[in-house]
Structure 1
Amino acid sequence: MIRTVKNLGRLFEIARVLARHDALFPLESIGVAREIAALAKLVSRRNVEGRPGQRLARALRELGPSFIKLGQALSTRPDLMGEEVATDLSELQDKLPPFPFAEVEKIFAEEFDHPIGDLFASFEQTPVAAASIAQVHFATTTDGQEVAVKVLRPGVEQMIARDLDLMYWIAEIVEATQPSLRRLKPVESVRAFEDSVTMEMDLRFEAAAAAEMADNFAGDTTFYVPAIDWQRTSKRIMTSQRVAGIPTDERDTVIAAGLDPTAVVAKAANAFFNMVFRDGFFHADMHPGNLFVDAEGNLVAVDFGIMGRVDVQTRRYLGEMLLGFLTGNYRRVAEIHFEAGYVPADKSVDAFTQAARSIAEPIFGKPMQEISIARLLGQLFAVTETFEMEAQPQLLLLQKSMLVAEGVGRRMAPDINMWELSQPLIEDWMRSNLGPEARIRQTVGGVVGTLEKLPKIIDDGEKIAAMITSGGVRLHPETLAALAGQRVARRSRMTVLMLLPWALVVILLGLLIGN
């Protein structure tokens, strides 16, 4: 009861802000808070300038950190918000007024039991950036290293926790009262959002993500990750190497520096492709404020608070899906959706093939530079209602990242399609991971894994047999009779099963030697 009253009060506050910006449509559409929305309309003066998505973005910015992050998450959900609103929300800037330097000094004292002066020779009091979760100051360490220091915003953990409880409350009501929306997994989507922001609440996690990505790109001079100063990093403070560069939305500045925008976009495309398909670990917030071009035309990334992972099997599904679209094999695109479990098994593969064609053909009829793979995936997810497809929260972050990366590419080189520039990498990856050689390697690997387990299986079987014969395991008489009757057939099947892996190894080795 207390939770309900508390969340109703907070919901009314939110509704008033949404009403003031004429952006109540999200609450009105889910059928949970229509009465609250109607009341908020009556008591609020409205600002109706701009498209619905732009008005919603302004309202979310006013509501603070949780809702800025929520807006960014909703920008990945054209199935929920509509394509135009989702696109407008993708432009939502994560900027807030800075908090006082006195708070920074207090946090340092609490985290390190030392004042700032013991750790840094100089520390700029005015932040260079202030976002919803943290702000960044430039400093110089006592050993002369120039660094950037990220400090968590005071009280942000409590604000996020309060609003997460509200989001869960609404999601639970939606699942209980709106059967048609259950396939969108509102509770699971809130949980995915919570996982993302929880990682941002501990800057040690961000530091670890930066270090992991630096390891993944070790030796790659085209994409750089600043080094972490672990001795000056804690839960609420992260210190990293200071870097400089041109924001990736400043095309004219890049050209004035004597750099080639097309080469920059190619490097961005290759870096993103390597993150997703090679490493399965990607930067999920590569907007121009987090991605810079250095003096040599290489990319420098910062802010590793929002990261995504893609497991090997999902990468294979995505690779085959991409290959199917690029080659016009829509039947295979449909089959992959069924194999991955994205579409219920009782739906028609033929009908989904037709839907995939209807989405892709108009896009691929355009000039290459106008083709958006991210938009294609977004439109594909838009057919979810027709085919009762469940939402895939693990793919939403990837879809958002593709949209952001494409936006960077289009601003830097408007006439170039960034995915086309990475075509050699795509072809190499598909040949290595989807070709016959890869399938043989995977099959051999599976067989070898089975063979490695055989001694334990046999040993366990012998132990169980010994226990049965010695009376260590008591079985029902009917079970014993059934076992006796099936013993001969089972022995025959076990012999075949024991020999089958060896036969496969011989056949596969023959294929490999023959090739």
Structure 2
Amino acid sequence: MLPFSRFNRNIRTIRRYRTILGILIKYGFGQFVEQLNINYYLELGRKIVTLGTAPKEIERLGQPQRLRLALEELGPSFIKLGQLLSTRPDLVPREYIDELKKLQDRVPSVPQDKIRAAIEREFGYPVEEIFSEFDPEPIAAASIAQVHHGRLKDGTKVVFKIRRPGIVDVIETDLDILMGLAYLIEHHVPGGDLYDPVGLVREFRRTIHRELDFTREARTIERFAANFAGDETVHVPQIHWDYSGETVLTMEHIEGIKVSDLDRLRAEGYDLKVIASRGADLFLRQVLEFGLFHGDPHPGNIFILPENRVCMIDYGMVGHIGDELKRQIVDLLLAILQQDVDRIIDQLLYSGELTDESNIKALKRDLSEFIEDYYELPLQEIKVGKLLGDFVEILTHYRIRFPSDLMLLARALVAMEGLGRQLDPDFNMIGYLRPWLERLVKERLTPANLSRDFGRVAQSYLSLMRNLPTDIKEFINRVNRNKFKIDLEHRGLEKLITDLDKASNRISFSLLIAALIVGSSLIMQTDKGPLLFGFPILGFLGYSVAGILGLWLAIAILRSGRL
């Protein structure tokens, strides 16, 4: 049985469980809800949700569409979860990815008085004492925050990003429920453990907590500004710290042209080829030089300033690439570009991403066919987005898992390539990527980097040798004291235990009903006790109770759908 600590069972959470499961059933996921067996784990005296069928108009939709509509109706936490899943082609089939990308994060704006109250709670002063102007009409309203124009007292034009009041409590409740559902999926849904739903919810919790705290986003923006300090081709919005906090982020108002507005860019004399080149350099520097990159570079988040300067906004979603992951990415991309199947396999084995279920011979065959498809193509005709998509599809088939930041990087790289090709039909991301990869490989071979790598390896072996005698001694002592334990976990038995519980309860009810009928029949053969129409009242009472219990049992069996 799963530990009950996994489930928050207060009244508000139970109501939210009913809402969530009811919406899932409404959109045709009743069988999935039944597999979770959630009534058993919440130990309620009655079902928290009754299974039914989806409306006819919903049944006609495909399952990916129904999932998207369900997530939108479930609210901000589930919309954000769907957006996270849309970045994980290693976990979610392509048809679901395409549909989840359509998730709408637009909701009605918060009334002006509540927004003003939120600002005053953050800073302790009325809005009029902080800003000379505050536009009550938001320029954007999403599920977590909304954005307004305004001016500081010194006349500086700014943009305010304000967290929606009460959103934290809503999201925390949903996160508790999602973690409980993740444990149920892992233990009850066939194959659910292969997708690590608990790990996915933990990742989602970390991501959304970062997004809720605007001081983190402000610090991230300042890191980007420090990384590109002195680069005249890039502009990063300035943060006004005196007017920013956990719930309010005040930043420079960017007056530029959206990168997707090609006609206006041409009309005002911008060089689209230069913009495409600078955008590619900007993104590749973020990834391969600094290890910190913008995770959502869609056209609405990129503005072009005078002199073809590139400015990215909205740093709520960023990815992090550590030195080890960067090394693996470089080696893997080089192996793909050099069409070296053995090196690709070696890299996957080294990184530990090749699972026991993977068939290496079949994987090698599919990778060889994948490389042959691109072998004859000139570099300018190779699309990095399609190449990465095909590569990920192969590895997903073999259940090879990826770090979440790597999947976010793949999506961002595809988006940047798409923008580059819109700006410049001759744009070729591989042309920008190859020199970076070659330079990073050469840098590894410098004496300084070689000595540093050797020092790390030596330190690791030294630590291993230092700890090994103690670990061996502790192991032997545990064996000698009979303290050596192996934890075994029976997985998938909870459903069997629950079904056995139900079956035994029904048998007990049936025996009780039979006993009442037999006892009442014996009483009917006597003339003792109060009589009704010449028969003992106790006999009538026994028949009545047996009839009620029998009807109750029959209804319960029919409602379960299992005769």
Question: Normalized against structure 2, the TM-score is what?
Answer: 0.71
Q: Superposition pairs for residues 202-241 of structure 1, below 5 Å?
A: 202-241=213-252
From 275, 284, 294, the equivalent of 1:273 is 284
Matched, 1:137 2:148: yes
Q: Superposition pairs for residues 430-469 of structure 1, below 5 Å?
A: 430-433=441-444, 437-438=445-446, 440-448=447-455
Give the superposition deviation at 1:40: 5.4
Match of 1:418 in 2: 429
From 324, 332, 343, the equivalent of 1:321 is 332
Relative distance call for 1:94 and 1:262 in structure 2 (3 A) is farther
Matched, 1:244 2:255: yes
Match of 1:486 in 2: none
Match of 1:492 in 2: none
User: Once the two structures are superposed, what CA deviation does each residue of 1:418-474 show, in whole Å capped at 9, x if it has no partner?
Assistant: 3434443343233324xxx24x5333114456899999999x99xxxxxxxxxxxxx
User: Once the two structures are superposed, what CA deviation does each residue of 1:61-96 show, in whole Å capped at 9, x if it has no partner?
Assistant: 343322221221111223443213313323434322
Relative distance call for 1:189 and 1:374 in structure 2 (3 A) is farther
Q: Does the 8 A contact of 1:97 with 1:130 survive in 2?
A: yes
Q: Does the 8 A contact of 1:28 with 1:37 survive in 2?
A: no
Counterpart Cα distance in 2 of 1:30 and 1:42:
14
Q: Superposition pairs for residues 107-506 of structure 1, below 5 Å?
A: 107-178=118-189, 180-344=191-355, 349-363=360-374, 365-366=376-377, 368=379, 371-384=382-395, 387-414=398-425, 416-433=427-444, 437-438=445-446, 440-448=447-455
Counterpart Cα distance in 1 of 2:348 and 2:462:
37
Matched, 1:101 2:108: no
User: Once the two structures are superposed, what CA deviation does each residue of 1:383-441 show, in whole Å capped at 9, x if it has no partner?
Assistant: 446544345334232233223333433444455333434443343233324xxx24x53
Give the superposition deviation at 1:382: 3.1
Counterpart Cα distance in 2 of 1:361 and 1:37:
53
Match of 1:46 in 2: 58
From 12, 31, 37, the equivalent of 2:21 is 12
Q: What secondary structure does 1:238 align onto? A: strand
Q: What secondary structure does 1:289 align onto? A: helix
Structure 1 gaps, min length 5 = 462-474, 480-515
Q: Does the 8 A contact of 2:443 with 2:449 survive in 1?
A: no
Q: What secondary structure does 2:443 align onto? A: helix
Relative distance call for 1:457 and 1:45 in structure 2 (3 A) is closer
Q: Does the 8 A contact of 1:134 with 1:151 survive in 2?
A: yes
Match of 2:533 in 1: none
Q: Percent identity among equivalent residues?
A: 30
Q: What secondary structure does 1:234 align onto? A: coil
Task: Give the letter for the 1:86 counterpart.
Answer: I
Task: Give the letter for the 2:206 counterpart.
Answer: D
Counterpart Cα distance in 2 of 1:457 and 1:28:
47
Relative distance call for 1:361 and 1:173 in structure 2 (3 A) is farther
User: Once the two structures are superposed, what CA deviation does each residue of 1:244-280 show, in whole Å capped at 9, x if it has no partner?
Assistant: 2222222222222222323222222111111111111
Give the superposition deviation at 1:190: 1.3
Question: Which stretch shows the higher mean deviation, 131-140 or 86-95?
Answer: 86-95
Task: Give the letter for the 1:14 counterpart.
Answer: I
Match of 1:510 in 2: none
Give the superposition deviation at 1:43: 4.7
Q: Does the 8 A contact of 1:146 with 1:242 survive in 2?
A: yes
Give the superposition deviation at 1:107: 0.6
Task: Give the letter for the 2:326 counterpart.
Answer: R
Counterpart Cα distance in 2 of 1:47 and 1:298:
50
Query: What is the number of residues matched between the two proteins?
Result: 454
Bigger Rg, which one: 2
Counterpart Cα distance in 2 of 1:255 and 1:274:
27
Q: CA RMSD in A?
A: 3.7
Counterpart Cα distance in 2 of 1:37 and 1:329:
54
Counterpart Cα distance in 2 of 1:419 and 1:456:
41
Structure 2 gaps, min length 5 = 1-6, 40-47, 468-472, 478-563
Question: Normalized against structure 1, the TM-score is what?
Answer: 0.78
Counterpart Cα distance in 1 of 2:310 and 2:57:
46
Question: Which stretch shows the higher mean deviation, 408-417 or 170-179?
Answer: 408-417
